[in-house]
Chains A and B, each alone.
Chain A
Amino acid sequence: MDRPIAYDKLAREERFVRMRAREVAELKVEQGLPPFPDLASRESMRERVHGIFVGELQAMEGAGRTVYDFPDAPWEFTLDMARQVWDESRHVEIYLRLLDHLDGYVGEFPETTILWRCACAEDAAARVAGVNRGLEGLACDVFNQLIHIAAKIGDPILERAVDFVLADEITHVRMGSRWLNELTRGDPERRKRAIDFQDSIDERFNLGGTRRDGAHDEVSISIAKDARRLAGFTDEEIERLVRSTQRSPVY
């Protein structure tokens, strides 16, 4: 097997429709829809859950590739990534069942591969910064809000299942913080490149102001400050993210 593999080798069953993220966003904007589904209707809940399902699938695939792509990385790093593969495989199952719970189906909405592309960074430090801290940080925001909305609409199935996923994501962010530090110890240039990569992902997933600091029911994606603190983000990092959301251009 190649180390790493080309982006377009990501294998899917026929029932998935893959589209470019920009194309999906443009089609939505053209129709006056938000680029990231709000949680205002059952259909938009389903669309968000479907988006999370494919995100978890790509997260599992990405973590699996990290186990394979870096045979010379510290053993403890590989162990953490292998653990993450298992966690993500459970998350895929959880979101498959939640899709069913919401009367949705696999392939109901298009799949984009931005997350997978982030998981293909050639440097292990960039991968953990971008995926474990950037994308799993985003997952903390999205899941925290989903739990809140589920409680509000009285859906204990959704609330409980996603709460357990959130607990795992917090663990993954911690792993990312640990390995960003350990893999770049004594190499400030490498560390800077990894953090720049994470910043570029944070910027991209601010989704033109969709992610913001604010109450769960007032903004589309609310920054989960408490969950992020628990995951090991510093107050300064959280503030930096909040500032970056304020300057994000419209998607």
Chain B
Amino acid sequence: MNVHPLAGHFSVEHSAKRIRQYRYVEERLMRILGGWIALTPEVPAKLVMGRHVWDCAQHADAWGKRLPELREAAHQSEPANEQVVRFMDLLEGREAPGETLERLTGVYRVLKPHLVTTYEHHLKIANAVYEPPTCRILARCLDEERRHVAAGGLILQRLATSESATARIADWEARLRQGLTGAGGITGEGDVAMPDTIDTAGTRPEQDVVILDPAFDAARIEPALAAVLDRHAAAVASADWARAEHDVAADARGNVIGEYARLAVPYRDFEVVALAKIGAFRTAKIRFSGPHGVAVVQVRCRRLDDDWRVVVAEIVRTEPAR
């Protein structure tokens, strides 16, 4: 059947309404990503969010500027319905430091793939004669959203290194998909299926991704200090205060052992997870873990009498066992 070249799916009003809905999602996602950066520990995840904040801002801006061309006020955002708002609230809610997997899943495995298919669908049905201004914005957003999906996927892949992580991703993805499907998608019209995969070929996601090995390389600790830290941490983990005291400077013993008295000893394992220098001082961060939970202790060391000695110890974090 021949379709008249001037036949169209959207009225001006309907088109403007959709654009306000797109703007709502892009603007809100921009703010969420911006707010999450400080709450996310992993540097590569922070950086990918940082890069995409600006892209989302530009998408929201482009949509907002298109509105006056459709007889509407500029820069208006409008959620399609209450369920879309609830979906965005749900997505935003995973803000704890240990929930980076959920944050990335929500954005890069649920919302952005859905944006891709929504924009694709719109582009496919938009009229090629009188809607090119909208189509150009759609095409630009599509390119970038595909790249975002690929970049976020790379980071997620690096972070999800265990079966439990994979299970968490699957659970959260299923819950969010249910919310978004219930809303009828971001337009509330239910006309776009939730995609299983997105074609990201040729998107060059590496421009958004900085891969860093997150672990501290213990080989950076000089051998004499490493030996003292190992001996000292083993003594602390087993609550052997007499042995622990041996590595502490004489005038600091009261304070250091007093600080350790607050620990939920014994611990099964310990690991030096960081080491920083301040002139001749070294501050090591030791992570203890055991049946009662986790404790992270910063110990400051200095060379005294030809050997390293602990001069200050401070418990910087404790977490109960899960």
Which residues does A use to contact B, with CB under 8 Å?
1, 5, 9-19, 24, 27-28, 31, 33, 47, 57, 60-69, 71, 75, 78-79, 81-83, 85-86, 88-89, 92-93, 96, 105-110, 116
Contact = CB atoms under 8 A, between A and B. Distances in A.
A96 B39 contact: no
A87 to B, nearest CB: 8
A229 B43 CA distance: 34
Nearest to B278: A27
Nearest to A88: B50
Nearest to A84: B54
Nearest to A14: B273
A85 B37 contact: yes
Given A11-B39, A67-B31, 13 more contacts: A14-B287, A17-B276, A33-B279, A57-B43, A60-B46, A64-B33, A64-B34, A64-B50, A65-B35, A75-B64, A89-B50, A89-B51, A92-B43
B298 interface: yes
Contacts, number: 154
Nearest to A69: B35
B57 A83 contact: yes
Contact of B43 (A10, A13, A19, A108): A13
B216 A71 contact: no
Given A14-B216, A60-B50, A64-B33, A106 B276 contact: no
Interface string B26-61: 000011111111111111001101110110110001
Nearest to B312: A23
B289 to A, nearest CB: 12
B51 A86 contact: yes
Contacts of A63: 34
B67 to A, nearest CB: 12
8 contacts: A1-B92, A14-B287, A17-B274, A31-B279, A78-B30, A85-B54, A92-B210, A116-B38
Q: Is the interface of A mostly helix, strand, loop or mixed?
A: helix
A27 B34 contact: no
- Tell which of A31, A68, A110 has the most Cβ of chain B within 10 Å: A68
A23 B216 CA distance: 24
Nearest to A107: B274
Interface of B: 30-43, 46-47, 49-51, 53-54, 56-57, 61, 64, 75, 92, 95, 97, 210, 212, 214-217, 220, 273-281, 283, 285, 287, 296, 298, 316
Contact of B38 (A13, A65, A89, A107): A65
Nearest to B276: A17
A86 B34 contact: no
A5 B38 contact: yes
B279 A110 contact: no
Nearest to B287: A14
B75 A75 contact: yes
Contact of B280 (A11, A31, A110): A31
By CB atoms of chain B within 10 A, which of A63, A64, A83 has the most?
A: A64
Q: Please list the 7 inter-chain residue pairs (A to B) with the smallest Cβ-Cβ separation, ordered nearest first.
A: A68-B35, A89-B50, A67-B34, A86-B54, A82-B57, A64-B34, A17-B276
A107 B216 contact: yes
A9 B276 contact: no
A83 B54 CA distance: 5
Contact of B42 (A13, A31, A71, A82): A13
A88 B54 CA distance: 11
Contacts of B41: 11-14
Contacts of A11: 38-41, 97
Contacts of B35: 1, 5, 64-65, 67-69
B212 A67 contact: no
Contact of A110 (B56, B92, B278): B278
Contacts of A79: 57, 61
A12 B216 CA distance: 13
Given A1-B95, A31-B280, A93-B210, A16 B274 contact: yes
A108 B220 CA distance: 10
B261 to A, nearest CB: 22
A147 B214 CA distance: 30
A85 B50 contact: yes
Contact of A57 (B46, B215, B277, B316): B46
Nearest to B28: A71
Contacts of A17: 274-276, 283, 285, 298
Contacts of A64: 33-38, 49-50, 53
